[in-house]
Amino acid sequence: MGDRRHPELGSADIDVDRYGVALRYEPDPDRFSGTVTITGILAAATDRIAFDCDGPAVTSVQLDGTSAAFEHEGDELLIPLDGPRAAGEPFEVEIAFNSDIAGGDEFVDAGVFPGFRHLGVWAVNEPDGVSTWMPVNDHPTDKAAWTFDVTVPEGLTAVANGVFLGSAPAADGVTWTWGQSEPMASYLVTTLIGPYEIRDGGTSSTGVDLVHVVLDDRTDTLDPYLAVTDEQLAFFAERFGPYPFDRYGLALADSVPGLAMETQGLSLFSALDFDGSLGYVQHLLLAHELAHQWFGNAVSPAQWDDIWLNEGFATYAEWMWLDHVGLQSLDAAAEDALTALDAGGGPVRRPDELFSDVSYRGGAAALEALRRTVGDEAFMAGVRAWVQERVDSVGTTDEFVASMERISGVDLDAWEAAWLDAALLPDRLPPERIAG
């Protein structure tokens, strides 16, 4: 895909329409076996199809219903076509694979991990985790629909993205089926297996279907977070535009504490961090991951250098929410961020480390500086337009700046140079723009 930060990820030659994932989970040792059926069209003329595959052992490939040769070296699976094909031609590839699930009590890199306290697995796949356990075109520019049929031993529940379509007996277990019809980047895939209860949360006050997941021995710990989630949905919809998907939910998972992930439509939190208490940390995490549904999930980064458009916006949204509920003023959060960031690590548009404080608090401080530069009304109008015009797609930093200039009518060259391009952020925020 030509991504500077992850040049090995993604193929620009294909445009995937749908993944059909059929998995079987085998415990002791933790292992996946199964198939993924990938349909789409060729985006460019080519004589082979490539997928990211850094971990799975591929056992067979079918191309358009016929057994096909393949090459699997390193992190890439190459499937030769039966001669050159033109752009626009359809393809269907079915890949059978096995994947061992390694890991311990700590989160290391991205991928699938064993349950922290119970039998099962959980996943955090940003930025390249899915390709460590399943062949995939692992870049956010190629969003697709997904279906998941996950077979697990009796007594366990399998959870994935989208609508829960039911469960049925299968050989040596139960198959749980989920359908994700809205386009989704691969890094937002969720995979939860364990002793979970799926809870129907009804419909939010903003009309969003709510479905939550909680460990079946800790169901009472979910209740304190239901009302605040409904309030946050309304709060952010008023500011960012309508919630971009049909459903939302909280997954209080058997994962390592201190880690949360905006898996599409069903944000993942550690059950150890959400023990029934509702304080600063829970408010912050709930707001941050919900805001990602707009910023990161609906509008994904076109390149991984654009990560601040995910994390900066989600951090800024958490500041807005904490200010709203009286736990921390937005001004204080922004000033604290500038103080903490004086050691560098930037620029914001190309941070030294992908998930660094520069991407999170640096990006949020840049947004507060932007709001003060263009004024509150123009800023919020620009943010809503950014989501509305790019929902189910991707965006770049340059496109965001151009969009905000168009909406606000303000030349943003100076703001961009100081807040996005400079190695060090300014040590103070600009004054508030006076309306008119």
Question: CB-hemisphere CA count at 13 Å for 285?
Answer: 22
**Residue 343 confidence (pLDDT):** 73
- What is the domain-level CATH number for residue 338? 1.10.390.10
195-209, pLDDT tens digit by residue? 999 999 999 999 999
**Residue 184 confidence (pLDDT):** 98
Could you tell me the pLDDT band of residue 433, with boundaries at 50, 70 and 90? confident
Q: Which of 16-30, 101-115, 153-167, 399-413 has the lowest mean pLDDT?
A: 101-115
In a domain, 368, yes or no: yes
Could you tell me the pLDDT band of residue 342, with boundaries at 50, 70 and 90? confident
As a whole-number percent, the residues of the chain with pLDDT over 90 amount to: 93
In a domain, 181, yes or no: no
Average pLDDT, the chain: 96
Q: What is the DSSP string of 106-171?
A: S--SSEEEE-SSSSSEEEE-TTTTGGGTS-B--STTS-EEEEEEEEE-TT-EEE-SSEEEEEEEET
Could you tell me the pLDDT band of residue 165, with boundaries at 50, 70 and 90? very high
Cα separation, 153 vs 173, whole angstroms:
4
Cα separation, 19 vs 388, whole angstroms:
26
In a domain, 412, yes or no: yes
**Residue 436 confidence (pLDDT):** 47
In a domain, 366, yes or no: yes
Could you tell me the pLDDT band of residue 107, with boundaries at 50, 70 and 90? low
1-40, pLDDT tens digit by residue? 899 999 999 999 999 999 999 999 999 889 999 999 999 9
60-80, pLDDT tens digit by residue? 999 999 999 999 999 999 999
Quote the crossing angle between the two packed helices 280-292 and 308-324, to the nearest 10°. Answer: 140
Could you tell me the pLDDT band of residue 351, with boundaries at 50, 70 and 90? very high
Residue type, 306: D
**Chain-centre distance for alpha carbon 190:** 9
Q: Count how many domains the chain has.
A: 1
Question: CB-hemisphere CA count at 13 Å for 298?
Answer: 27
In a domain, 402, yes or no: yes
- Kind of pairing between the strands at 76-85 and 111-114: unpaired
pLDDT higher than threshold 80 for residue 262: yes
Cα separation, 267 vs 243, whole angstroms:
14
Residue type, 269: F
In a domain, 334, yes or no: yes
- Spell out where 271-404 has E strands: 299-301, 393-395
Q: The pTM is what?
A: 0.96
Q: Which domain holds residue 343?
A: 299-421
In a domain, 204, yes or no: no
- Kind of pairing between the strands at 393-395 and 299-301: parallel
Residue tagged 């279906």 (tokens)? 147
In a domain, 75, yes or no: no
**DSSP secondary structure code for residue 208 in this structure:** -
Classified as helix, coil or strand, 16 is: strand
Cα separation, 194 vs 110, whole angstroms:
19
Could you tell me the pLDDT band of residue 278, with boundaries at 50, 70 and 90? very high
Classified as helix, coil or strand, 411 is: coil
Q: 3-state DSSP: the chain helix, strand, coil percent, rounded to 5?
A: 30, 35, 40
